[in-house]
Structure 1
Amino acid sequence: MKIVVIGAGGAMGRRVADRLERRGAQVVRAHRATGVDAATSEGLTAAVDGADVVIDCLNVAAATEAKAVAFFEQTAANIADAAKAAGARVVLLSISNASDPAVNAKMGYYKGKARQEQVYREKLGEQLTIVHTTQWFELALTMSEQFALGPLAMMPHMVTAPLAADDGADVIVDVALGASFAGAASIQVRGPERMDLLDVARQARKALGRKGKVFSLRFGGPGLTDGSLIPDPADVITSTTVKRWLATL
């Protein structure tokens, strides 16, 4: 089985590509460093030619809603067209409830993901499976470091049911290989515990020996703190707890 991983240079894309190869798939790692740019379509048609499945793990560091929406809209259209021409199924990684206005009202990145989902659905219909996951534990570290100043860090309250990125990658691989949820249009994946990512950030930085405090940052609106980030019901509840994840740092 030939599987193309778009965004294979990123945190999730690498995990997915590695797991697919270990399970015997023919993997094409498609990202800018390998000559594939989904935003411009450079190298995209050649990469997807003959593929059975295309997995979209793209990410973008977009500071504004306009940039996030433009990026995800364009890349989704380009990838969908290439996949349709090749007769390939598409598996899209997205965020649980990102398309809910209560969640994305003040989150430009989430509005971009919502538009990405919409474009894929319009173009591919039943040829698409979306794997929605809650936020990863790893995001707590990433965000707290983005908003760090010396020993001090900031992190917004995000009440969610976070999961380890490794567990999310396992689900995506199973879906791509047809080992689970065959023919499903949408799959909801969450971690085992409801918690605030702010607390995860504090615990993770402590585990890494980082000095200084993590302060709460007012950001994103009530949709980030009232439980709207957690899918109900969830199709998959992953097993790695925050305690187990912290032990791997």
Structure 2
Amino acid sequence: MRIAVLGGTGLMGKLVVAEAEGKGHDVVIAARSTGVDISTGAGLAGALEGVDAVVDVSDHVTNSAKKAVAFFETAARNIAAAESAAGVRHHVVLSIVNCDDPRLKAFGYYRGKAAQEQAVGASGIPFTILRSTQWFEFGQKTVSLMGFGPLALVPRMRSKPVAAKTVAEALVQAVEKGPSGRVADLAGPEVLEIPDMTRKILRHHGTKKLLIPVSMPGAGKAMRSGALLPGADSISTGPSLDEWLATN
């Protein structure tokens, strides 16, 4: 199968590419660095030529709801138009658990992902939407984005973090299964406090940082109280944090 991975040079994109190639698929890596810009549509036609399925793991980090919604809706329209023209038969998109929860509406990025899901559902292209919880890698990413010398701010959040590689495997399985609509949410096996998780990861790697837990504006209380946790019909799968650290 010929698969285009949008955002194929990012953390998740690289894992999806490796997983798909390992299963014998022909993979097209689509990102700005390869001449594809989903926000404008530039390069999409060429990237999707002869493609059977698209995996969208592209990202746009912002907490402005206006900017997030505009980006994800525009990108979804551009992608769908190119898919229709190229005859793509399946669109797989990675989303976030509870991105449409009213308790989290103050978190603009989540509103953007919810808008993306709606646009994908209305696109006319057969689709699969997979939501996952935060990844273990989220801890280190937060420190890199919100680190200031020896200090780093870490959001107070309760989640069931999952390994990014596990999510990549699920995305490729979704491609192979075919269009399935919204599938069961994917989560890790343990409920963890993100500051505690991050602290443990940094200690494992010998990184010395003073972590300062902070509440996210607007949605902080909800994130602390469990709004990020998946429902009872979700799929929880390993590795655990300790198992993941043993190989990372």
> What's the TM-score bracket when you normalise by the shorter of the two chains?
over 0.9
Name the structure 1 match of 2:229: 230
Superposition pairs of residues 65-214 of structure 1, within 5 angstroms: 65-85=65-85, 86-103=87-104, 105-124=105-124, 127-178=126-177, 182-187=178-183, 188-214=185-211
Kept after mapping to 1: 8 A contact 2:163/2:244: yes
Count of residue pairs the alignment pairs up:
244
Kept after mapping to 1: 8 A contact 2:2/2:53: yes
CA shift digits 1:124-144 (9 cap, x unpaired): 36x111010000010111112
Structure 1: where are the runs of 5+ without partners? none
Residue 88 of structure 1 and its aligned partner are, at CA, apart by 2.1
What RMSD in Å do the two structures reach over aligned CA positions?
A: 1.4
The one-letter code matched in structure 2 to 1:129 is: T
Supply the distance in 2 between the matched residues of 1:25 and 1:75 (Cα, whole angstroms): 25
Supply the distance in 1 between the matched residues of 2:211 and 2:61 (Cα, whole angstroms): 22
Alignment TM-score, normalising by the size of structure 1: 0.93
The one-letter code matched in structure 2 to 1:224 is: M
Supply the distance in 2 between the matched residues of 1:212 and 1:24 (Cα, whole angstroms): 42
Kept after mapping to 1: 8 A contact 2:6/2:30: yes
The one-letter code matched in structure 2 to 1:136 is: W
CA shift digits 1:74-101 (9 cap, x unpaired): 1111112222332421000000110111
Residue 64 of structure 1 and its aligned partner are, at CA, apart by 2.1
The one-letter code matched in structure 1 to 2:180 is: A
Q: Structure 1 vs Structure 2: percent identity of aligned residues?
A: 36
Residue 8 of structure 1 and its aligned partner are, at CA, apart by 0.2
- 212 and 38 in structure 1: CA distance in 2 versus 1, 3 angstrom threshold: closer
Kept after mapping to 2: 8 A contact 1:137/1:197: no
Supply the distance in 2 between the matched residues of 1:36 and 1:61 (Cα, whole angstroms): 18
Kept after mapping to 2: 8 A contact 1:91/1:128: yes
Supply the distance in 2 between the matched residues of 1:143 and 1:42 (Cα, whole angstroms): 30
Q: Classify the secondary structure of the residue corresponding to 1:66.
A: helix
Kept after mapping to 2: 8 A contact 1:65/1:112: yes
The one-letter code matched in structure 1 to 2:232 is: P
- 46 and 212 in structure 1: CA distance in 2 versus 1, 3 angstrom threshold: closer
Structure 2: where are the runs of 5+ without partners? none
The one-letter code matched in structure 2 to 1:98 is: C
Kept after mapping to 1: 8 A contact 2:215/2:221: no
The one-letter code matched in structure 1 to 2:196 is: D
Establish whether residue 60 from structure 1 lines up as the match of residue 60 from structure 2.
yes
The one-letter code matched in structure 2 to 1:116 is: Q
Residue 63 of structure 1 and its aligned partner are, at CA, apart by 4.6
Name the structure 1 match of 2:19: 19
Q: Classify the secondary structure of the residue corresponding to 1:9.
A: coil
CA shift digits 1:9-65 (9 cap, x unpaired): 111011001110111111111111111111111110121122111110001132522
CA shift digits 1:96-125 (9 cap, x unpaired): 11011112x221111111111111111136
The one-letter code matched in structure 1 to 2:97 is: S
Residue 217 of structure 1 and its aligned partner are, at CA, apart by 0.7
